[in-house]
Amino acid sequence: GIQVEQSPPDLILQEGANSTLRCNFSDSVNNLQWFHQNPWGQLINLFYIPSGTKQNGRLSATTVATERYSLLYISSSQTTDSGVYFCAVGDTGANSKLTFGKGITLSVRP
Amino acid sequence: NAGVTQTPKFRVLKTGQSMTLLCAQDMNHEYMYWYRQDPGMGLRLIHYSVGEGTTAKGEVPDGYNVSRLKKQNFLLGLESAAPSQTSVYFCASRPSGATDTQYFGPGTRLTVL
C-alpha cells in the first residue's frame, strides 16, 4: 500500500511565527487531504488538494503530485493552531481509501 | 445538518464483553468508513462501505464486524473485546463524486480493561 511520511514529527513555534509542514507519499494518488486534530480530538478538514495550490486565510497548501509531496503553510501562527496535523492520501482505486501519516504535533506558545 | 455523529462518545468495557458503535450521517453520502486512532499511529482503516448493504475490510479488520443496513448508518461491532482494542474510533463518510473529501465524526473513546 501507499506509504505516507510527515515531517517534522514535532514542531514548537512562538506565536506569530510561520511554519511549513511536509507530507511525502510513495505512489500516485487521486486524493490528498490535510486535517487538523484539535486538543479535544476533533478532526477538521483543512484542504482537499490532490494537486495545485489552495489558500484559506492564514493557511495554504501545495501538492506537487508528480514529485509526490505536499506542503502545508501556516503563517502568523496562533495558539489555536496547536494540535496534530495529518496528511492523508487516497490511491487511484475506485474506493479511494485514505492512508494517514502519523501526524505532526504543533505547539504554538504565547 | 448534524453531519456525522457517533454514539456513544465514551465507553469502558471488560475483556470479553461485546458492544456496537453507531455512526450516522445525514448528508446522503454513499461511502462510509471506520478508523481507529492509537498514539503515534495516525488513523488506520478498519472497515468501509461503498453503499447500503455492502461492506469491505480495511487495513486492520480483525476482531471487528460491520453492517450497513441503512444508507445513513454504519455499525461497528466488537464481539469479544480485548485490551488491544482500546483506542479512539472515528467514523467518516463521503459522497461518491469526484471530490472524495471525507467528513469525520467526533470520535468514540473506548477503553477495554
High-pLDDT (> 70) share of chain A, %: 95
Q: Please answer yes or no on whether A102 and B106 come within 8 Å at the CB atom.
A: no
Give residue A28's pLDDT.
87
Is residue A43 very low, low, confident or very high in pLDDT (cuts 50, 70, 90)?
A: very high
B103 interaction partners in chain A (CB closer than 8 Å): 45
- For B40, the closest of A1, A42, A102 (CB atoms) is A102
Question: How far, in Å, CA of B22 to CA of B5, rounded?
Answer: 8
Q: Is the pLDDT of residue A94 over 60?
A: no
Report the chain B residue with the minimal C-alpha distance to residue A50.
Answer: B99
C-alpha cell recorded at residue A71: 506542503
Residue ranges of chain B whose CB lies within 8 Å of a chain A CB: 31, 33, 35, 40-45, 48, 50, 56, 58-59, 88, 90, 99-104, 106-107, 109
> Considering only A41-45, A91-95, B72-76, B101-105, which range has the smallest mean pLDDT?
A91-95
Q: Which residues of B61-70 are buried (b: 16+ CB within 10 A; e: fewer)?
A: beebebebee
Please, which residues have CB within 8 angstroms of residue A93's CB and are 6 or more apart in sequence?
none
Question: Domains along chain A?
Answer: 4-109 (2.60.40.10)
Q: How many CB atoms are closer than 10 A to CB B79? A: 12
Kindly indicate the confidence band of residue B40, based on its pLDDT and cuts at 50, 70 and 90.
confident
Question: Cis ω on the peptide bond leading into residue A8 (within 30° of 0)?
Answer: yes
CB-CB neighbors (< 8 A) of B31 in chain A? 95
Q: What percent of chain B has pLDDT over 70?
A: 96
Return the residue in A3, A42, A97 with the most chain B beta carbons within 10 A, the one to mutate for interface testing: A97
User: pLDDT, tens digit, for every residue of B50-94?
Assistant: 999 999 999 999 999 999 999 999 999 999 999 999 999 999 999
